[in-house]
Amino acid sequence: MKLHKFALAAILGVAVIVVSCKHFPPVEEEPLLQGRIEIVEIPSSDSTIIHNALIYLPIGYDRSVYDSFPVIYILHDFDQDFAYLEDVYSVCEILDRMVSRGRVPGVILVFVDGSNEFGGSFYTDSDIYGHFETYLEDVRNFVESNYKVMADSAFRCLLGVGEMGGYGALRHFLRHPHDYGTVAAHSPIIDPLDYATENLLNRALGENGGRLPNPPDLSEGKPATRMLFALAAAFTPKSAPLDSFDLAYEFPIQPADSDSSVWFGVRLPFDTLGNPIGGEIAETWSQNSILAVASESMDSIWDTAAVWLDVGCDEPQLQPKIETFVDSLEAHGVKPVFEIYSGDPAYPDSIVPSTVRTRLFSRIGRSLEYLIYTMWLRL
């Protein structure tokens, strides 16, 4: 299969693109070749996390002339799990279609599970609620020990979807600059403290009658509350005797075990009425912004980094900070592909199944094409 460098050049040539998905070219009706999907259980190295992963093996994996393949690790959004993107958006079918039409060569996809009791880990190491940053490396080691993958950073990449998945992909890429060559993030949170302050807090207060209850109500009907406390579990968890919690802004959630006086909980950068706390808690959240993490790894990655970012024009809570991050990348000599999307594709059912006829279809399709060409052209 020939790889055309002009195709990648076309993708890389424009830094900021506003795309109307309604003009996305239709997919021709042809017989669709399919890759193989496996569901595997992968424990963490410390045995505290045992999650499934969905692994897509490309068309011809067992009989390919290639001894190994590049691999893309896909991180899902908040309140999802490893299977969500395939079950709802048929991401593997997107790749099947591109490979069947000869648009890209095959790659392995690994859908990682970053879910926890709060609805999502944000792919960080929390001393109480799971070492999910470390778990991503455990998944990588499992995949490289059991599948035909190119075990080189140039042929590993991360793709994150949504606020949590996009954040996790960028954060992990920046914190492990020598382990991954490429990253793509769709609508990521860039600054968790700013996002919580400007987007989650008032919604969470509204979900709870104007005051955050202590202990918190983390039921499924309160998505902003759940995400706010998930961020706190990721960045500022607390394990201590119950009487040591300051109930104005520290929230005990459950006892460590049935016989213990120690409780697990979280600390918010706001009190129960939404007033900012500041101090060490706010500083910890700020240190986990993508801009702060990037500042620590600038010299390590920018000479080789390949970055894709996009956001919907209907996502004002995300777009300004993403644009700030794009400006920071460009100031350090990295020219990311950055796209702002509007509209939805208008494919008929006879051309594209309704399960993939969404804006996400075109966005993931384009980022997958970028990631795959970037990796294969490194050969």
**From first to last of its 379 residues, what are the pLDDT tens digits of the chain?**
433 333 443 444 434 444 444 444 554 556 688 999 999 999 999 888 999 999 999 988 988 777 899 999 999 999 999 999 999 888 998 899 889 888 899 999 999 999 999 999 999 999 999 999 999 999 999 999 999 999 999 999 999 999 999 999 999 999 998 899 999 999 999 999 999 999 999 999 999 999 999 999 999 899 999 999 999 999 999 999 999 999 999 999 999 887 778 999 999 999 999 999 989 999 999 999 999 999 887 666 666 679 999 998 889 999 999 999 999 999 888 889 999 987 554 444 444 445 544 566 678 888 999 999 999 888 7
Written as six digits, the tokens of 21 are 């998905």
Condensed to tens digits (0 to 9), the pLDDT of residues 53-112 reads 999 999 889 887 778 999 999 999 999 999 999 998 889 988 998 898 888 999 999 999
pLDDT at 6: 32
Q: What is the pLDDT of residue 303?
A: 63
**Domain 5-189+292-376 indexed as CATH 3.40.50.1820:** yes
User: Taken in order 92, 98, 101, 103, is the CA torsion positive or negative?
Assistant: negative
Q: What is the pLDDT of residue 359?
A: 60
Q: What is the pLDDT of residue 215?
A: 94
pLDDT of residue 55: 98
Q: Name the token pair of 63.
A: 């009989």
Q: Where are the domains of the chain?
A: 5-189+292-376, 193-286
Confirm if 263 and 242 have CB atoms less than 8 A apart.
yes
Partners of 130 in the β-ladder: 126
DSSP 118-182: TS--TT-EETTTEEHHHHHHHHHHHHHHHS-B--SGGGEEEEEEHHHHHHHHHHHHHHSTTT-SE
The predicted structure's pLDDT at residue 259: 75
State the average pLDDT for the chain.
87
Token duo for residue 84: 């969500």
Smallest Cα–Cα separation from 243: which of 260, 269, 263?
A: 263
What is the rounded distance in angstroms from the CA atom of residue 213 to the CA atom of residue 77? Answer: 26
Contact 206, 223 (CB under 8 A): no
